[in-house]
């Protein structure tokens, strides 16, 4: 019997439509903030209106010998080309069903940090924010 649950080992991470095998884990946080609207002399909100929809998250990645970091992977520009930097896209696909679990477009790296420990792999954490996202339900 096959389960309908999505499992991590069946998922593939793509950056700019290229498989990104160095990803150890991916987190996605989708916020759909709403603002309460109140009337005059009314203490209780009458409605919640959407004010912002953002997608952000993190990537934990392995560092390989001479891989060029996330700059070579196309996530951010190098120091000399920072002003010409473009957005990147991130997509997680379920290999078992060949469907998009989540796709974030117009993403930008906010921060990268790297951990160098003796007797351990060099790991990086990349925090990113995106403007547009969708999943198998369609455009968000």
CATH number at residue 121: 2.30.110
> Is residue 3 domain-resident?
no
Q: What is the pLDDT of residue 139?
A: 59
Which pLDDT belongs to residue 131?
92
Residue at 34 is within a domain: yes
What is the reported pLDDT for 2? 64
Question: Could you tell me which residue, 3 or 31, shows the higher pLDDT?
Answer: 31
Pair 79, 69: CB distance under 8 Å: no
Q: Report in angstroms the alpha-carbon separations of 56 from 5, 31, 69, 109.
A: 23, 8, 20, 10
Average pLDDT over residues 88-113: 92
| 124 strand-pairing partners | 61, 114
Query: Does the residue 86 lie in any domain?
Result: yes
Q: How far is CA 87 from the centre of its chain?
A: 12
Q: Which domain holds residue 94?
A: 8-139
Is residue 87 domain-resident? yes
In a domain, 2, yes or no: no
Q: How confident is the model at residue 82 (pLDDT cuts 50, 70, 90)?
A: confident
Whole-angstrom distance, CA of residue 109 vs CA of residue 82: 12
Q: What is the pLDDT of residue 68?
A: 85
Residue 74 in domain: yes
Residues 6+ positions from 74 with CB-CB distance below 8 Å: 15, 16, 18, 88
pLDDT for the residue numbered 15: 92
Residue 135: per-residue pLDDT:
86
The model's pTM: 0.80
Q: Looking at the 3D structure of the chain, how many domains does it have? A: 1
Residue 107 exposure: Cα atoms within 13 Å on the Cβ side: 29
User: Which has more pLDDT, 8 or 13?
Assistant: 13
């Amino acid at each position: 019997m096959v389960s309908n649950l999505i499992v991590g080992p069946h998922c593939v991470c793509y950056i700019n439509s290229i498989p990104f095998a160095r990803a150890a884990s991916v987190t996605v946080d989708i916020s759909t903030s709403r603002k309460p609207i109140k009337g005059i002399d009314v203490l209780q909100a009458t409605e919640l209106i959407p004010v912002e929809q953002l997608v952000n998250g993190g990537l934990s990645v392995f560092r390989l010998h001479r891989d060029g970091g996330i700059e070579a992977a196309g996530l951010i520009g190098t120091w000399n080309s920072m002003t010409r930097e473009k957005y990147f896209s991130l997509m997680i696909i379920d290999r078992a069903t060949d469907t998009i679990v989540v796709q974030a477009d117009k993403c930008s790296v906010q921060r990268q940090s790297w951990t160098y420990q003796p007797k351990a792999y060099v790991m990086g954490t990349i925090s990113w924010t995106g403007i547009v996202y969708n999943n198998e339900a369609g455009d968000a």
